Structure 1
Amino acid sequence: MEFQLRAEYAEGTTPPRSGEARDTTWHMTEAGEARALCGRDLDPASETRPAEAWGTEAAESFCRSCGAQYLRQGQ
C-alpha cells in the first residue's frame, strides 16, 4: 500500500495558491485519499507530500495518531 502526507490547514485558512503551506498539521493518508489514518477527513485540494517526508522538517508538525497508525502498517 502506498501512502502520502496531506496537509490540514488552521481553521479559517485555505490552501495556499503557491509556496509552502503555513499553520498546517500533516497527516498520513493512503495515496490519493483525503481521509487520514487517524480518521480525519481532509480537504482533497490540500497540499500533499511524499510519505518519505514523514519524520523530517518537511512534515512538521505531524499528527501523532497518524504516525502511530503508519508505524502499525509496517512502514
Structure 2
Amino acid sequence: MEHEMRAEYEEGVEPGPDAEVKNWHMVRRDGIKAMCGRMLSESAATQPADRWGEPEGEPFCFLCGAVYLREVP
C-alpha cells in the first residue's frame, strides 16, 4: 500500500502555500483520512511518505507514525 503525508492546519486557517502546518499526518495514497482517524482537507498540502522522519515532515502526528510503522514492511 502506498502512503503520503498530508498537512493539518490550525482551525480557521485555509490551506495554501503560506499557511503554517500544525501537524503532518500519514494517509493512504490520495486519501483525506489520516491513519490516526483525523479528517483532513482535500486541498491540504501533501508530500511523499519518505519525508517522514526528516525536518520537512515535522511536526508529525505520533499516532499516525505508530500506525504507519505497523503497516509498512
TM range (shorter): over 0.9
Q: Output the aligned Cα RMSD.
A: 1.2
Q: What TM-score, normalized by structure 2, do the two folds share?
A: 0.92
Q: C-alpha displacement at 1:11, in angstroms?
A: 1.2
% identity of equivalent residues: 44
Unaligned runs of 5+ in 1: none
Mapped partners of 1:51, 1:61: distance in 2: 14
Mapped partners of 1:5, 1:72: distance in 2: 16
Unaligned runs of 5+ in 2: none
CA deviations over 1:16-75 (Å, ceiling 9, x no partner): 2x35x4142000000100000001110011000000010011011000000000000034
Q: What TM-score, normalized by structure 1, do the two folds share?
A: 0.90
